[in-house]
Amino acid sequence: MPKFYVTTPIFYMNGKPHLGHAYAVTIADVLARWHRLKGDDTFFLTGTDEHGEKVEKKAIEEGLSPQEHVDRLSENFRQAWKKLNISNSDFIRTTEKRHEDAVKHFVKLMHDNGDIYEGVYEGWYCTPDETFIPESQLIDGKCPECGREVKKLKEATYYFRLSRYQDKLLEYYSENPDFILPRKRTSEIVNRIKEGLKDLSMTRPSVRWGIQFPFNEKHTVYVWVDALINYLSALGWPGSEPKYWPADVHLVGKDIMWFHSVIWPAMLMSAGFKPPKSVLVHGHYIVEGKKMSKSLGNVTDPLELTDKYSVDALRYFFVREFPLGDDGDFSEQLLKARNNNELASDLGNLIYRVLTLTEKFEGKLEGRPELEKSLELQTFQDEMDRCDTYRALETLWRFIKASNKYINDTKPWELKGEELSNALYNSVEACRIISILISPFMPETAEKIGKQLGIPLGRLEDCRFSEINYLPKKGAPLFTRVD
Ligand code: ME8
């Protein structure tokens, strides 16, 4: 059985989950559900990043111990994902013992390979991003990524010989052109590496809230080195072989593409692991020209939106509003339009209309599969396999629209006998197939459609027009318009 391992970033514990986090987790959930639908042995990981200077500072501000602080916040994330119907297989926290053991072991492997040496770090540090920044990269003396204040550091450290992996990384990208997706992002990384890779400071003597560095107890492991290893520690490594490794997809925002496509593969090569198969880079939600972020204070709460619309409306919006690699806007107006025009009208009406017509029909639903030619199943599959969830949903929507058009054109309300049966057969079978293909995006809606059709949710191989041996019964409309 093919396996599929997909991960999300593990989020910092400095606030509640916001729309950007929900976006990343939902896209990963769509991919995981798609691979389960195909019958792949799927493992889907998310979790929380709980160490580091930023978290320690935030805990002090809240008057809590760091552990109390992260326990509380991590639980918020876990609950939020439950509400959004996220089907993660595990939830890793970097303060767990299993993770600490994995980090220490991983660092020892890097050390055994001669890749760690002692030195001094003198330069800049952005605490909100937890990144070391060379002087040459500062923009107006501020962090080039988030534009915030940086502080000067001069401290003892242990370095990871990242520079040693420069050629190996370039070779890996050229042999695996789909390693960074969308592909167009690869050149950005390659150009930066060609400017010369510097060794990475990988321990901090001044930070207490972290995992102790195994070769000097006065240091903790740099939070990013600690965090990246979560993708292995959640697989039970080093206690057992990491069965799902290498990861098929690390889904990350563009803000952390460098860590995932350069530092992490180099760390893996150093410790003797294969690099992940791909890093899928998504864009950001932008508010008035700025990235939506907790520390900028311009965030939207995804859970509030699901109270007003529905979980599935938000999930649909995430995939449908803009292509995965692009940045996008969020406004309630946009969500409302998607909900009213596409969910309530296109999809909701289709199901309601078909089942209303079918309810009045007595006899066996049978006919010629006329509508099947509008189902672009292979295109849909290829797009999903390429992680192009945006185009796949577009493809599926063409079928939903074609089904609505089929009803308008055949006018079942004017038909009788065999012709009526044929029109209804095609419409009902279209609804059944839609319920299957929509399930990675809107799992609750898929179930509701299945219930009205009187059939459990099918699998991918059931997406063919076949004999009807179920009894549809109309239920409540699937979506409510919000005015
Ligand atoms: O970087 N739009 O955690 P983090 C879309 N702990 N997505 C957004 C977003 C926005 N405006 N803002 C955040 C960290 N995200 C590290 C990760 S992984 C080993 C460690 C999403 O809490 C996006 O996926 O800052 C981004 O990469 C991630 O949240 C960063 O979350």
- Are 470 and 341 in contact by the 8 Å Cβ rule? The answer is no
Query: For each of the chain's 483 residues, which pLDDT tens digit applies?
Result: 999 999 999 999 988 999 999 999 999 999 999 999 999 999 999 999 999 999 999 999 999 999 999 999 999 999 999 999 999 999 999 999 999 999 999 999 999 999 999 999 999 999 989 999 988 889 999 998 888 899 999 999 999 999 999 999 999 999 999 999 999 999 999 999 999 999 999 999 999 999 999 999 999 999 999 999 999 999 999 999 999 999 999 999 999 999 999 999 999 999 999 999 999 999 999 987 788 887 777 888 999 999 999 999 999 999 999 999 999 999 999 999 999 999 999 999 999 999 999 999 998 999 999 999 999 999 999 999 999 999 999 999 999 999 999 999 999 999 999 999 999 999 999 999 999 999 999 999 999 999 999 999 999 999 999 999 999 999 999 999 998
Atom 8 in ligand 1: residue holding the nearest Cα: 20
Which of 11, 127, 228, 294 best tests ligand 1's pocket when mutated (most atoms within 8 Å of CB)? 11
**Distance, CA 161 to ligand 1 centroid (Å)?**
26
- Are 186 and 173 in contact by the 8 Å Cβ rule? The answer is yes
CB of 261 shorter than 6 A to ligand 1 = no
Tokens representing 440? 């990675």
Which of 143, 256, 300 best tests ligand 1's pocket when mutated (most atoms within 8 Å of CB)? 256
Which of 21, 54, 146, 317 best tests ligand 1's pocket when mutated (most atoms within 8 Å of CB)? 21
Which residues 6+ apart lie within 8 Å of 42 measured at CB?
A: 3, 4, 5, 6, 32, 35, 36, 89
CB of 322 shorter than 6 A to ligand 1 = no
**Distance, CA 127 to ligand 1 centroid (Å)?**
15
The HSE-up count of residue 83 (CA atoms within 13 Å, CB side) is 18
**Distance, CA 250 to ligand 1 centroid (Å)?**
12
Q: How far is CA 332 from the centre of its chain?
A: 22
Atom 15 in ligand 1: residue holding the nearest Cα: 20
Which of 16, 31, 48, 49 best tests ligand 1's pocket when mutated (most atoms within 8 Å of CB)? 49
Q: State the chain's maximal CA–CA distance in angstroms.
A: 85
CB of 20 shorter than 6 A to ligand 1 = yes
DSSP 146-210: T--B-EEEEEEEEEE-GGGGHHHHHHHHHH-TTSEESGGGHHHHHHHHHT-PPPEE-EESS--SS
Closest to 342 in 3D by CA, of 370, 371, 378, 312: 312
- Minimum-distance ligand 1 atom for the alpha carbon of 49: 6
- Minimum-distance ligand 1 atom for the alpha carbon of 11: 22
CB of 315 shorter than 6 A to ligand 1 = no
Q: How far is CA 429 from the centre of its chain?
A: 31
- Are 150 and 124 in contact by the 8 Å Cβ rule? The answer is yes
Which residues 6+ apart lie within 8 Å of 117 measured at CB?
A: 158, 159, 161
- Minimum-distance ligand 1 atom for the alpha carbon of 254: 27
Closest to 431 in 3D by CA, of 373, 469, 472, 376: 472
pLDDT computed for residue 247 by the predictor: 98
- Are 33 and 442 in contact by the 8 Å Cβ rule? The answer is no
- Minimum-distance ligand 1 atom for the alpha carbon of 292: 11
Strand 180-181 and strand 279-282: the pairing is parallel
Helix (H, G, I), strand (E, B) or coil at 360: coil
CB of 27 shorter than 6 A to ligand 1 = no
Domains delineated in the chain: 3-303 (3.40.50.620), 332-462 (1.10.730.10)
pLDDT computed for residue 15 by the predictor: 87
Residue type, 73: L
CB of 49 shorter than 6 A to ligand 1 = yes
Atom 26 in ligand 1: residue holding the nearest Cα: 253
CB of 292 shorter than 6 A to ligand 1 = yes
How far apart CA 431 and CA 439 sit, in angstroms, is 12
Specify the DSSP element, H or E, that contains 265.
helix 264-271
How far apart CA 183 and CA 411 sit, in angstroms, is 46
Cβ–Cβ contacts within 10 Å for residue 167, how many? 11
CB of 256 shorter than 6 A to ligand 1 = yes
Q: DSSP code of 149? A: B
How far apart CA 218 and CA 213 sit, in angstroms, is 8
Which of 7, 8, 23 best tests ligand 1's pocket when mutated (most atoms within 8 Å of CB)? 23
User: Which residues, in sequence order, are bridge partners of residue 121?
Assistant: 155
Nearest-5° Cα angle at 204, 62 to 102 = 90
**Which residue's structure tokens are 């990235």?**
291
pLDDT computed for residue 14 by the predictor: 85
Tokens representing 107? 């660092």
CB of 284 shorter than 6 A to ligand 1 = yes
**Distance, CA 11 to ligand 1 centroid (Å)?**
6
Atom 23 in ligand 1: residue holding the nearest Cα: 253
Which of 129, 252, 330 best tests ligand 1's pocket when mutated (most atoms within 8 Å of CB)? 252
**Distance, CA 9 to ligand 1 centroid (Å)?**
6
CB of 10 shorter than 6 A to ligand 1 = yes
- Are 267 and 110 in contact by the 8 Å Cβ rule? The answer is yes
Atom 27 in ligand 1: residue holding the nearest Cα: 253
How far apart CA 21 and CA 33 sit, in angstroms, is 18
